[in-house]
Amino acid sequence: MAVILLRLLFITICLPFIAAQQSNDSVPVGASLTATPNIRPWLSSSGEFAFGFQQVQGNDNFLLSIWYDKIPEKTIIWYPEEGRMVPRGSKVELLRESGLVLTDPQGTQVWRSGSISGVASGFMNDTGNFMIFGSNSSKIWSSFDYPADTLLPTQVILRGGMIISKRSKTNFSGGRFLFQLLEDGNLVLNTRDIPTGNVYDAYYSSDTFDSSNSTNRGEQVIFDTTGYMYLLRRNGQTFTLTPRGLLPSGDYYYRATLDSDGVFRQYYYPKNPTGNSSWEVIWFKPDNICFSMSGVRDSGACGFNSVCSFDGNWPSCECPQGFSLLDPNDPNGDCKPDFTPTCDEVDSNNAGDMFDFIELNGINWPQSDYVHMKPTNEESCKSSCSKDCFCAVAIYANAQCWKKRFPLSNGRKETSPPAKAFVKFQKGDPRPGTPSQLPAKNKDQKSLILVVSTLFGTSAFVNIILIGVICVGFFVIYKKKARNIYPISKSNIETNLAHFTYQDLVEATDGFKDELGKGAFGVVYKGVIGKQIVAVKKLNGLVQDGEKEFKTEVDVIARTHHKNLVQLLGYCDEGEQRLLIYEYMSNGTLAMFLFGETRPTWKHRSYIALGVAKGLAYLHEECSIQIIHCDIKPQNILLDEYHNAKISDFGLAKLLMMDQSHTNTGIRGTKGYVAPEWFRNMPVTVKVDVYSFGVLLLEIISCRKSLVFERDNEGVAVLTDLAWDYYQGGRLDAFVENDSEALDDYKRLTWFVMVGLWCIQENSTLRPTMRKVVQMLEGGIEVAEPPCPCPFSITTCKL
Ligand SMILES: *[C@@H]1O[C@H](CO)[C@@H](O)[C@H](O)[C@H]1NC(C)=O
Ligand SMILES: *[C@@H]1O[C@H](CO)[C@@H](O)[C@H](O)[C@H]1NC(C)=O
Ligand SMILES: *[C@@H]1O[C@H](CO)[C@@H](O)[C@H](O)[C@H]1NC(C)=O
Ligand SMILES: *[C@@H]1O[C@H](CO)[C@@H](O)[C@H](O)[C@H]1NC(C)=O
Ligand SMILES: *[C@@H]1O[C@H](CO)[C@@H](O)[C@H](O)[C@H]1NC(C)=O
Ligand SMILES: *[C@@H]1O[C@H](CO)[C@@H](O)[C@H](O)[C@H]1NC(C)=O
């Protein structure tokens, strides 16, 4: 009896769970899914692919999609045409007479799977293909036949087929780029004008076309089960897409995606991922998208007025100085001038008094010129532009001058010939390049709920900081990580780094007379080379590992180009002497700015915080070699004449490292900013910079130093603790010392503090990446409630 009872109990309680554990790849007619978080999707039999709703960008945006369910990133590989987001409560249903139907909570149809009927069942295939079968078991619809931006093994594109990029990384509506197998057999990448659908010329072409019906024209793009992609010609010959021998051996997922930057890339990801697995690139087309669109009528790889740069792997778009993004959420989009372009009546005699120029080095917009003058000189090039009301920008290179009109297209970094771009603006306008408005946060933001929780562990944290004060050494960690297995040709990446003799620099600095500052790496002097003011850094404590090593590292630094990084201009390695020449930053360090006599405005401060975050995100994710800074603090952030924040001293780590074979041999960094993992036997990753950035962000927000010496209780208050105290007590007004400008912008203030608290989490895996930090600071993604940044264990360090 008891046994029977037990059995009954087992059946009633456990069976439903067992059933729920099993995946059922077959979807009966009438089945439906509702868009709510954590709803169980329809899984393929191996559980590798899932069909359902993914929450994208905030809580209330759901995307009907198919994704890799077994990898942490849940990469989305399919979504219906146009990638429309639907709100919570929307529903997808498999209906006998209409196939898949997506409806919003009001019951309005948003999308359906074409005009099909007579549906018998649906099926989530282990290949990632969602299929619909008719009553005679024949396939009547499949997601593979309606690809989004991604192709998978076993998928085929026929003539006339295409895939479309996403608008941006987080916006799934159709973007500017198309991958098409044209009717004539040619495989091309095109741009298009989104509103009109007008397609421009190709920026990549396989040239496998033949209009005369010949047998070697392209017929199908095939992604085979082993991971190779190729173009099958009519006569059975193949045109290789995946280069032979490039696929890694082992068990991998493969996908090929037309990314939102316009590059078509094939990726792989291990089926048995380790902690640090990510999608790695096998090959991509075109080779350098910044240079591949010259003949194409459109804005180029980036938006209008934007500038494209390519580090050998990833292109990036950036608004030049004096411009800012038209849509702050679209970093690859158009840039608008921060000044008002005018075409007023110009009195040619005093045009020079009316206009001024922003000088941009190494940037060109090779199209959009309407006048070409040669030979000429720089002065007459500029003056001709001032007097010409149409002229927006003059490019001067090699004794030639090109006058250009807005909007500028195909902007890119060009070092040979060394072009100079002069952007014209009217004097009296606010000086372009000064803090531009920060993007506005979505109005429909939910109000933030401040959770009051107990603060604990303060003293342990103080301990750790104090230990840091003593333990700090000048050791260095440098982690080198090749991003990509694709062999990158070095010649892609040109550096126009100048080499100087020691005597040159003695002259430039007038015998090292004017000292600008001292740092861990050496002393910095002011100097003048040509007409340019420079900062000359004399390195000390260098490892004697030969000139070649030095040059290699210097090249790595020189290859970084970002608005928020101090640009390296040249170097000297003569005998024992190692010097680096940087651009000069006229407004000194962020420390002077923040903790000086007058409190800088909130607008300036938030602009600077965003700039530092962008610079770090670039070092972490966009350079061909990842650079961990290891010593982010206000003394290492410099400000240019427009108060743009620029990170300095990055990439020097390796030059000072004693023993490269050790990773975590000592602490590098500065008290108050070093992440807890330095004190523990834990690997040092980019997250140490995120930690230091978090401290810096809280300093920028509050204008308080990371270690605040309090008069009354003779102790040291740690800013990170203060921030948490004030935040969880709802006292941000006190945290910013009643800074009325910041309090007027209370929402942004709150989310900035929250981002800061996320960055200083003890557990480094909880800290966001710098890319995410940028998105959060920009208001592009919502910031979740941060947990207490308290230590989770107390390490004792007997001294
Ligand atoms: C999946 O569900 C269908 C219909 O409900 C059922 O016929 C089939 O046996 C199930 N398969 C598995 C593996 O559970
Ligand atoms: C799943 O896809 C594979 C490969 O295309 C195919 O062979 C198989 O028949 C599909 N499964 C079903 C049930 O259609
Ligand atoms: C199955 O039905 C579809 C239409 O419902 C038809 O086009 C197809 O030819 C049929 N296939 C077979 C094998 O009967
Ligand atoms: C995606 O971009 C389009 C065009 O810029 C915009 O209309 C749409 O609102 C965006 N969608 C989301 C979810 O941000
Ligand atoms: C193209 O070639 C196919 C097969 O050789 C032939 O059947 C067809 O008539 C040809 N079409 C034209 C327009 O030449
Ligand atoms: C991941 O970590 C392992 C061991 O920590 C290392 O061998 C491997 O190179 C790392 N992989 C990547 C892609 O960084």
Is the CB–ligand 2 distance for residue 125 below 6 Å? yes
Is the confidence at residue 57, as pLDDT, over 80?
no
Write the CA distances from 607 to 31, 328, 700, 757, integer angstroms: 50, 13, 10, 19
Is the CB–ligand 3 distance for residue 12 below 6 Å? no
Nearest protein CA to atom 6 of ligand 1, as residue: 26
Q: Which residue shows structure tokens 């109990």?
A: 9
One-character DSSP codes across 529-576 = ETTEEEEEEEE-S----HHHHHHHHHHHHHT---TTBPPEEEEEEETT
How confident is residue 302, by pLDDT bands cut at 50, 70 and 90?
very high
Mean pLDDT for the stretch of residues 535-556? 74
Mean pLDDT for the stretch of residues 663-680? 65
Domain boundaries of the chain, sorted by first residue: 1-146, 159-265+273-286, 299-431, 449-485, 498-583, 590-777
Q: Determine the residue of 63, 79, 167, 326 to mutate for testing ligand 4's pocket, defined as the one with the most ligand atoms within 8 A of the Cβ atom.
A: 167
Q: Parallel, antiparallel, or unpaired: how do β-strands 355-361 and 420-426 relate?
A: antiparallel
User: Which DSSP state fits 482?
Assistant: B
Is the CB–ligand 6 distance for residue 481 below 6 Å? yes
Ligand 6 center to residue 277 CA distance, Å? 8
Is the CB–ligand 2 distance for residue 133 below 6 Å? no
Provide the β-strand partners of residue 266. 256, 283
Is the CB–ligand 1 distance for residue 473 below 6 Å? no
Ligand 5 center to residue 155 CA distance, Å? 26
Is the CB–ligand 3 distance for residue 137 below 6 Å? no
User: Where do the H-state alpha helices sit in 406-510?
Assistant: 458-471, 502-508
Nearest protein CA to atom 10 of ligand 6, as residue: 276
Nearest protein CA to atom 11 of ligand 6, as residue: 276
CA-nearest of 54, 50, 30 to 41 is 50
How many whole angstroms separate alpha carbon 199 and alpha carbon 461?
59
Ligand 5 center to residue 657 CA distance, Å? 68
pTM assigned to the model: 0.57
Is the confidence at residue 422, as pLDDT, over 90?
yes
Contact 246, 206 (CB under 8 A): no
How many whole angstroms separate alpha carbon 252 and alpha carbon 270?
4
Q: Encoding tokens for residue 521?
A: 């790496």
Q: Report the C-alpha dihedral over residues 559, 515, 630, 638, rounded to 10 degrees.
A: -70
| % helix, strand, coil for the chain, step of 5 | 20, 30, 50
Contact 343, 389 (CB under 8 A): yes
How many whole angstroms separate alpha carbon 310 and alpha carbon 261?
11
* CATH number for region 498-583: 3.30.200.20
**Comparison of pLDDT for 582 and 481, the residue scoring more:** 582
420 is in an annotated binding site: no
Q: Is the preceding omega at residue 375 within 30 degrees of 0, hence cis?
A: yes
Q: Burial of 714 by CB count in 10 Å (0-12 exposed, 13-18 middle, 19+ buried)?
A: exposed
Burial 162-188 (b: 16+ CB within 10 A, else e): ebbbbbbeebbebbbbbbbbbeebbbb
Q: Which atom of ligand 1 is nearest to the CA of 22?
A: 14
Yes or no: domain 159-265+273-286 corresponds to CATH 2.90.10: yes
Q: Which atom of ligand 6 is nearest to the CA of 274?
A: 1
Is the confidence at residue 722, as pLDDT, over 60?
yes
Is the CB–ligand 2 distance for residue 127 below 6 Å? yes
Q: Which atom of ligand 6 is nearest to the CA of 277?
A: 13
pLDDT tens digit string along 124-141? 999 999 999 998 889 999
Selected catalytic residue, list 631, 649, 721, 739: 631
pLDDT at site 436? 34
How many whole angstroms separate alpha carbon 192 and alpha carbon 199?
4
pLDDT at site 349? 65
Is the CB–ligand 6 distance for residue 480 below 6 Å? no
Q: Encoding tokens for residue 86?
A: 């639907």
Q: Is the dihedral of CA 636, 641, 645, 646 positive or negative?
A: negative
**Fold identical between 1-146 and 590-777?**
no
Chain mean pLDDT for the chain: 80
Is the CB–ligand 4 distance for residue 648 below 6 Å? no
Is the CB–ligand 2 distance for residue 131 below 6 Å? yes
pLDDT at site 697? 95
Q: Which range has the top average pLDDT, 93-97, 364-368, 533-537?
A: 93-97
Ligand 3 center to residue 67 CA distance, Å? 30
How confident is residue 677, by pLDDT bands cut at 50, 70 and 90?
confident
CA-nearest of 653, 555, 549, 568 to 311 is 555
Nearest protein CA to atom 12 of ligand 2, as residue: 125
Q: Which residue shows structure tokens 């107390």?
A: 794
Q: Which ligand is nearest to the CA of 121?
A: 1
Among this protein's residues, is 207 annotated catalytic? no
641 torsion bin: left (phi>0), alpha (psi -120 to 50), beta (else): alpha
Q: Which atom of ligand 4 is nearest to the CA of 172?
A: 1
How many whole angstroms separate alpha carbon 361 and alpha carbon 693?
29
Q: Is the dihedral of CA 451, 452, 457, 459 positive or negative?
A: positive
Provide the β-strand partners of residue 400. 397
Is the confidence at residue 492, as pLDDT, over 70?
no
Q: Which residue shows structure tokens 């090699």?
A: 398
How confident is residue 408, by pLDDT bands cut at 50, 70 and 90?
very high
Q: Determine the residue of 24, 126, 127 to mutate for testing ligand 2's pocket, defined as the one with the most ligand atoms within 8 A of the Cβ atom.
A: 127
Ligand 4 center to residue 168 CA distance, Å? 9
Is the CB–ligand 6 distance for residue 12 below 6 Å? no
- CATH architecture observed for domain 1-146: Orthogonal Prism (2.90)
Ligand 5 center to residue 179 CA distance, Å? 26
CA-nearest of 763, 762, 780 to 771 is 780
How many whole angstroms separate alpha carbon 792 and alpha carbon 460?
10
Ligand 1 center to residue 142 CA distance, Å? 20
Topology classification of domain 590-777: Transferase(Phosphotransferase); domain 1 (1.10.510)
Mean pLDDT for the stretch of residues 257-270? 95
User: Which DSSP state fits 427?
Assistant: B
Nearest protein CA to atom 9 of ligand 6, as residue: 481
Ligand 6 center to residue 275 CA distance, Å? 8
Q: Which ligand is nearest to the CA of 172?
A: 4
User: Which DSSP state fits 14?
Assistant: I
pLDDT at site 558? 82
How many whole angstroms separate alpha carbon 165 and alpha carbon 147?
11
